[in-house]
Amino acid sequence: MKTVVRLYRARIITVLATSALLIATADVGAMIGLDRLQRHVEVMINGNMLPVVQLNELRAAELQARRRFWKTAELRQPERLQEALEGFQTDMDKVDTEWSAYYPRGISSPREGTIAEELRQSLPKFKTIIAVAIHRLRAGQYTSAMQWFDESVGCMDYFDTLLADDISTNADQAAGLVKESKTILKWMSRAVISFLTAFILLVATLTIYLLRQRDNAVVESRYQSWLTNRVFELTLDGMMVTDAKGHILHVNQAFSDLTGYSAVEVVGGTPKILNSGRQTPEFYCDFWTALKTTGQWKGQLWNRRKCGDVYLESLKIAGIRDGDGRFSHYVAVMNDITQRFRQEERLSHLATHDALTGLPNRMLFSERLKQAIIRAKRHRNQVAVMYIDLDGFKQVNDTRGHGAGDEVLRTVAGRLTHGLRESDTVARLGGDEFAIVLEDIAPGSDVKRIASSLVTSVGAAIRIGDRDEWVTPSIGISMYPGSATDAEKLVEMADHAMYLAKKDGKNGYRIATESPGTQPERVIEESIS
With a CB cutoff of 8 Å and minimum separation 6, the contacts of 481 are 376, 382
Query: Could you give the C-alpha distances from 60 to 54, 104, 131, 182, in angstroms and in order?
Result: 10, 20, 18, 33
Q: How long, in residues, is the chain?
A: 529
How far is 61 from 359, CA to CA, in rounded Å? Answer: 25
Say how far apart CA 250 and CA 243 lie, in whole Å: 10
In sequence order, which ranges of 438-483 are alpha helices (DSSP H)?
445-458
Query: Which residue(s) pair with 275 in the sheet?
Result: 303
Inter-residue contact 405 to 515 (CB < 8 Å): no
Q: What angle do CA 320, 189, 228 make, to 5 degrees?
A: 40
Which residues touch 349 (CB under 8 Å, ≥6 apart)? Answer: none
List phi, psi (to 5°) of 419: -85, 5
The answer for residues whose C-beta is within 8 angstroms of residue 166's C-beta and 6 or more apart is: 51, 55, 112, 115, 116, 119
- DSSP conformation class of 141: -
CA distance 427 to 366: 10
- Is 406 known to be catalytic? no
Cα gap 363→169, rounded to integer Å: 32
Q: What distance in Å separates the CA atoms of residue 125 and residue 144, rounded to the nearest whole number?
A: 18
- Quickly list DSSP for 161-196: HHHHHHHHHHHHHHHHHHHHHHHHHHHHHHHHHHHH
Which residue among 389, 391, 432, 495 is the active-site one?
432
* Distance from C-alpha of 420 to C-alpha of 245, rounded to nearest angstrom: 51
User: β-pairing, 472-480 with 467-469?
Assistant: unpaired
- Cα separation, 95 vs 123, whole angstroms: 9
Catalytic residue ranges:
432
